[in-house]
Homo-oligomer: A and B are copies of this chain.
Amino acid sequence: MKPPNKGGRGGPDPVSELTTNRLSIYLRALAALDKAGVRAVSSQALADQFHLNAAQIRKDLAQFGEFGVRGVGYVVTDLLRHLREILGLDRQLPVAVIGAGNLGLALADYSGFRIEGFDVVALFDVAKHKIGRRSRAGVTIHDIRHFPRLAKRLGIRIAVLAVPHAQAQRVADAVVGAGIKAILSFSPGGVEVPGGVKVKRVDLTVSLESLSYYLAQGDGHES
C-alpha cells in the first residue's frame, strides 16, 4: 500500500512521522494559546487543555533541543518559532493541486493550508474547458502539459494529487519527472515513486472505517 521507499533523500530521517504529526498538533495548540494572549505554558497545562500527553510532549520536544525554562515552562512565541523551523514552515512552500474537480478545487481554496504557510499557487487539469478558469479563491487552472515549466517558474515544492485513481500513477510519474520530491495523494489506491520522493497518502476510507468499528462495538454492547 505504501510506496516502496522510506523517504530520506539526503540521509536518514531521524524522527518518525508520528512525531512530526504530533509536532503539528502542538503547533496548532500553541498558536491558539498565542492568539489568546498566553505567554508561557507548562507541558502539563498544554496537555490538560488540549487533551494531549504531557510526558509525550516533553519527550518529543527533547529530540530537538532544550525549549523549557525551569519554573516557567515553555515561552509560547519561542516554542512556536522553533516548531515552525523544525517543520520547515519558516518559509512559504508553493503547492500545486493536480486535478480541478470538486476535490481539487476544495483543496486549492482550503483555508487551513494558507494559515500555516502553504501557498497553493496553481491548479492543473487535462480538461480543455477548465483551463484558464479560476477557483473561488482565485487559483488559476493550467494545462497539465505545462506542469514542468510552471513548476520551475513558480518554485513548486509539493504536488497534491486530486485525480481519479486510474490517472494517479501517470500523474505521479509526471510530477516526479518534473523534479517534485513531495506528493500528497488523495487517490484511493497507492502510487509508486522512486527513492528520494516522499508520498503522503490521505485515505479517507480508513477514517470512516475507524468510525464503523466504533459503531459496531457500540451496537454489540447494546444488543
Q: Is A158 an interface residue (CB 8 A)?
A: yes
Q: Is A161 an interface residue (CB 8 A)?
A: no
Q: Give the complex CA separation of A68 and B112 in angstroms.
A: 44
Q: Is A78 an interface residue (CB 8 A)?
A: no
Q: Is A204 an interface residue (CB 8 A)?
A: yes
Name the B residues within 8 Å of A221 (CB-CB): 9-11
Stretch in contact with the other chain, from A54-62, A99-107, A141-149, A169-177: A99-107
Closest to A108 in B: B102
Residues of A within 8 A of B (CB): 1-4, 7-11, 13, 15, 17, 20-21, 23-25, 27-29, 50-52, 86-89, 93, 95, 101-103, 105-107, 109-113, 115-116, 118, 136, 157-158, 164-165, 181-184, 188, 198, 200, 202-222
Between-chain CB contacts (< 8 Å), 5 pairs: A1-B50, A24-B205, A88-B216, A89-B209, A202-B202
